[in-house]
Amino acid sequence: MKDLFPRVGRWHRGYQPTQVDSFFARAREAYEAAPGSSGDTLTEEDVRSSAFDIVVDGYSTPHVDAALDRLEAALVRRRRAGFVRENSEEEWVDAQVDRATSLYPRLQRADGARFTEARGRGYAKAEVDTLCERLIDYFENGTPISAQQIRLATFAAARGSNAYDEAVVDSFLDRAVEVLLAVE
């Protein structure tokens, strides 16, 4: 069987091929199933939370991650089309505005106080706050930012009072990605 993705080679590490192949086989079945059928369902959250072991001579992580991003976007487009078929485009937009406003309370907090402080190591507060400012600018002024930019954001490691808890920040950014994907 031909590999789904390029491999990184004997001296490098990548995603475990059998796990990736299994996930994408399940994704294909779920995506090709008729909407509303009793077949396996796959959600954007399933895609976003997928994880694979890292092994020598595994699949190239950037290639797999890009495919996951495309799959997630396709699932959002499919969900949107189904919603609009049953309701209207205006109702879809209204629902996304409601979801976006759920992000506001945290965005309106002061720099350095938006998220729970890390116990030990976490994300550098200043860098996370800079990304939050970009989200505020998007919501208030329409300054462009994409789900992909949020998804690819990385932050320096920090400790103690200079760090936010990684899990809390990641959860918030996942919700921001959901909102942005829904309107892209």
Please state, in angstroms and rounded to a whole number, the distance separating the CA atoms of residues 11 and 170.
31
In the chain, % of residues over pLDDT 90: 55
pLDDT digits (tens, 9 = 90+) for 80-115: 888 899 999 889 888 888 888 888 899 999 999 999
The Cα 96–Cα 115 span in angstroms is 23
**pLDDT at residue number 172:** 93
Q: Region 167-171: what's the mean pLDDT?
A: 92
Would you kindly state where each structural domain of the chain is located, as residue ranges?
13-86, 89-183
Write down the pLDDT at residue 38: 53
CA pair distance 136, 145, nearest whole angstrom? 10
pLDDT one-digit tens code per residue, 128-166? 999 999 999 998 898 999 988 998 899 999 998 999 999
- At residue 37, the pLDDT reads 58
Rounded-to-integer distance, Cα 136 and Cα 127, Å:
14
What are the angstrom distances between the C-alpha of 166 and each of 114, 120, 155? 12, 11, 10
* Mean pLDDT, range 56-77, rounded to an integer: 91
If pLDDT is split at 50, 70 and 90, which confidence band does 39 have? low
What confidence score (pLDDT) does residue 48 get? 84
Partners of 59 in the beta sheet? Answer: 7, 15
Q: How high is the mean pLDDT of the chain?
A: 89
Confidence at residue 40, expressed as pLDDT on a 0 to 100 scale: 59
Q: Comparing C-alpha atoms, which of 13, 11, 20 is closest to residue 3?
A: 20
With contact defined as beta carbons under 8 Å apart, do 123 and 166 qualify?
yes
- 150 with 67: CB under 8 angstroms? no
